[in-house]
Structure 1
Amino acid sequence: MRLSHAVAALIIAWFADFGCIQAVTLDVKEGNSTCIKAELSATFSITYNTSSSTQTVQVSLPNSTVVDTGSSSCGTDDSPPWLVAVFGSGQALGLSFSTNGSLYSVANLTLQYNLSDTSIFPEANSSDVVTVVLPSIGIWATINTTYRCVSPSTFGVGGAAVTFSDMRLEAYMPGNDLSPTESVCTADQASTTAPTTTAGITTTEAPAPTPPGTPERGTYSVNNVNGTVCLLAQMGLQLNVTYFSLSQNKTIQELVNLTPNLTRSSGSCEASSASLVLTQEGSSTLNFTFTLNSTSNKYHLSGITLLANLPDATAPFSAGNTSLDYQRSTLGRSYLCNAEQTLFVATTFSLNTFRLQVQPFKVTTNQFATAEECQMDQDQMLIPIIVGAALAGLVLIVLVAYLIGRRRSHAGYQTI
């Protein structure tokens, strides 16, 4: 009870200091021209250590938030556009952007918080300024349109979580005002009632798409800055997406195969994390994040995000999850799963993998290390052994029964 009162008092103090939760407007300018504009509300859930336990605080982006003009920029040939908002005593929220010419997206979300600020982090056992980064959070839109998402969207960033709501955002702006044309996020599309047809008008429903079949297996890699391979992957990939179809005027589920010869791989390798980004130009960007536990020397697939430009959708499709626990294996070994696996990512997106082998850490000689097989492969190997053993047992029983029967028949004719 005391703890809940303390947290409540802390939140009230934060609101009193910085104002109630409301949308803030942030602009990045170059001269008199605006290149990035955001209208949004944001709340942060941050967990930190005290001398005896851990505590979690909930704070909001205050209306006193301002753009850091020294860190924000419209970008150059060598650096991406950045929107950096600062608030409080050493807190900052940063968004960097990238584009492929037809779409733009948030390439990185950065959160900085100052543990020495006792008004927010009472009894913290550290005075560090913590910076956490999350790549490819699934916010994207068509160039010259405004990304709009009224629904809350939460993204996990290290030991914190950021929730955006009432968001209107545009980068690479041609003018100083947000475009009236909007790219609506998937969450808002799902909550929108489909338009009704006018009485007396008969509509012909489009035929369901033909299933694409088993996808082709592709080989992908990521190189270190010195040019050596640091991540290897071979797999067939199939996207299972749910979205509102314009032609069918309803929400549909569709399977889309990734085509290896049209897909470019990139990414990064760090000491405890690695990423693989698969891009089909003008079509989709699929991002895998792997995390290594240095204590147990085990790694796993911790995050998947998808950005897809579906021609029949009302807006670009985006979905992701940074709290996954798939493809566990040991450092220095690869993960192998020949069986088809379904990786559930979000309510509107799952990923089917075929003949998969991946190694995100400790790649040597550009080859996979000894593989640790998935449980499905082990089970599939075990089934023929069990069936074979059962058949062998059955044959043995029949043979024994035959020999016993033959011996009894011989015993019925005694020699006189």
Structure 2
Amino acid sequence: MAAPGSRWSLLLLRLAGLAHGTSALFVVKDSNGTACTMASFSASFFTIYETGHGSQNSTFELPSSAEVLISNSSCGRENASEPILTIAFGSGYLLTLNFTRNATRYRVQHMYFAYNLSDTQHFLNASDKGIHSVDSSTDIKADISKTYRCLSALQVHMGNVTITLSDATIQAYLSNSNFSKEETRCTQDGPSPTTVPPSPSPPRVPTNPIVIKYSVTGEDGTCLLASMTLQMNVKDNMTVTRALNISPNDTASGSCRPHVVILTVESRNSILDLKFGMNGSSSLFFLQEVQLNMTLLDANVSSLITSNQSLRALQATVGNSYKCNTEEHIYVTKEFSLNVFSVQVQAFKVESDRFGSVEECMQDGNNILSPIAVGGALAGLVLNLLIAYLISRKRSHAGYQTF
């Protein structure tokens, strides 16, 4: 048994991200037995769960018995699906990494974690039972044909769950069934000793934003159509706000699931997730969550990770499209808000890759009614003046009659 002092030392090391379990290697192979995705890392899981007496914390490590779940893992198919690595352990625990790529880079687009609240070893006296799941976008990305390498502790926040990966080596789209000797290092490891950090540049003034068209397609066809202008308002401290336009050169991707549609827009320094959900009766869709993961190159803080999971914006009937020409300001958190201009969006049910019947926003309706109301008031005023003039003319004419 370890002495009390050594227990505290181990706890402090774990909290500092300096101590972790042994890294394990996970490999996904195609039907020919050729490796297409490889990952080596250790992982710890910090969760907050509810009991009858309030919230409790649970921390546990990825066990050495963890293994690739072959039935849920895939090398992907050209233009049809992307690589998936699913790691299974314990009683119903799953850690899934979904990969995507563009011409120059690949990344872990989303990380999913399923955990079992019925497991009393980790969740003693939990109020809820059964399997629960959380997910998040990540900042794990590397150049094509290079290995992603991160010696530092890398944290992925998923609501009430935080996953910490340590000593991570990851590569998808393998070309020779093994890790590449060339590496893309994570930002947490910092610049190499020979690298001279660039001097800070003044915040750039954004150009006028333009309308960009997006679409997300899954196995059953298109699940999202959108045409809109997006502008991010980011506070790198509590006083300086930057307006950053989403560019048509940014990479757009996404995923289709039965109750969640995700549009992801990735630039050189940011990953923006727009998650659309449905109401309980599946009759309405709306923007339910916005999540931003951004590297701030010339700010006091190096990164910003923020999200809001309880939004209800851009709402319309499933099968119809939401349309609004008026600028909409979506408050996400105190550090981040989103401006949406000239938007038309439709999620979940999209027929023939075309927008359905239009449901206009209330702001556009007010804009249409206002000129009508002003015009009606002016017409009434002119009519009143005309009537007054005619009455006055008649009385004047009557005054000159002789009897």
Shared fold (TM-score, shorter chain, > 0.5): yes
In the TM superposition, 1:238-249 aligns within 5 A as 238-243=231-236
Q: Distance in 2 between matches of 1:123 and 1:349?
A: 33
- Confirm or deny that 1:66 pairs with 2:60: no
**Aligned residue number for residue 244 of structure 2:** 256
Structure 1 position 323, deviation (Å): 2.0
Q: CA contact under 8 A between 1:234 and 1:356: conserved in structure 2?
A: yes
* CA shift digits 1:181-235 (9 cap, x unpaired): 7379xxxxxxxxxxxxxxxxxxxx975532422x111111111225x32211111
Q: Distance in 2 between matches of 1:251 and 1:64?
A: 40
Q: Distance in 2 between matches of 1:404 and 1:147?
A: 89
Structure 1 position 339, deviation (Å): 1.0
Structure 1 position 356, deviation (Å): 0.5
The one-letter amino acid of 1:29's match is A
Q: Distance in 2 between matches of 1:264 and 1:230?
A: 18
C-alpha RMSD over aligned residues: 4.1
Structure 1 position 284, deviation (Å): 3.0
Q: Distance in 2 between matches of 1:264 and 1:64?
A: 34
Structure 1 position 133, deviation (Å): 3.4
The one-letter amino acid of 2:41's match is I
Q: Distance in 2 between matches of 1:180 and 1:237?
A: 28
**Aligned residue number for residue 169 of structure 2:** 172
Q: CA contact under 8 A between 2:25 and 2:41: conserved in structure 1?
A: no
- Confirm or deny that 1:383 pairs with 2:370: yes
Q: TM-score, normalised to structure 1's length?
A: 0.67
- Confirm or deny that 1:218 pairs with 2:212: yes
Q: Distance in 2 between matches of 1:58 and 1:26?
A: 26
**Aligned residue number for residue 309 of structure 2:** 322
Q: TM-score, normalised to structure 2's length?
A: 0.69
Q: CA contact under 8 A between 1:299 and 1:330: conserved in structure 2?
A: yes
Equivalent residue for 2:188, pick from 182, 193, 210: 182
**Aligned residue number for residue 114 of structure 2:** 111
Q: CA contact under 8 A between 2:67 and 2:87: conserved in structure 1?
A: no
1:163–1:145 distance in 2 versus 1, CA, 3 Å:
closer
Identity of aligned residues (%): 29
1:64–1:306 distance in 2 versus 1, CA, 3 Å:
closer
- Confirm or deny that 1:278 pairs with 2:275: no
**Aligned residue number for residue 36 of structure 1:** 41
* CA shift digits 1:143-168 (9 cap, x unpaired): 54566689xx9644xxxx3367xx67
- Confirm or deny that 1:357 pairs with 2:360: no
Structure 1 position 365, deviation (Å): 1.3
1:367–1:317 distance in 2 versus 1, CA, 3 Å:
same
In the TM superposition, 1:45-194 aligns within 5 A as 45-46=49-50, 58-62=55-59, 66=63, 68-71=65-68, 79-80=83-84, 86=90, 90=91, 92=93, 94=95, 96=97, 107-115=110-118, 117=120, 120-121=124-125, 129-136=130-137, 144-145=149-150, 155-156=158-159, 161-162=160-161, 169=166, 171-172=168-169, 182=188
Q: Distance in 2 between matches of 1:406 and 1:208?
A: 68
Q: Distance in 1 between matches of 2:311 and 2:53?
A: 22
1:287–1:45 distance in 2 versus 1, CA, 3 Å:
same
* CA shift digits 1:313-355 (9 cap, x unpaired): 4534432222211111111111111111111112221111111
Structure 1 window deviating more from structure 2 (93-102 vs 303-312): it is: 93-102
1:85–1:182 distance in 2 versus 1, CA, 3 Å:
farther
* CA shift digits 1:19-47 (9 cap, x unpaired): 99x7483443239x993244x67232358
- Matched position secondary structure for 2:67: coil
Q: Distance in 2 between matches of 1:355 and 1:44?
A: 40
* CA shift digits 1:104-147 (9 cap, x unpaired): 667213131244759835786xx7x31423232x5658854566
Structure 1 position 58, deviation (Å): 2.7
Equivalent residue for 1:287, pick from 273, 276, 291: 273
Q: CA contact under 8 A between 1:290 and 1:303: conserved in structure 2?
A: yes
Unaligned runs of 5+ in 2: 1-10, 27-37, 77-82, 143-147, 171-178, 191-199
The one-letter amino acid of 2:58's match is L
Q: CA contact under 8 A between 1:140 and 1:316: conserved in structure 2?
A: no
The one-letter amino acid of 1:44's match is I
**Aligned residue number for residue 345 of structure 1:** 332
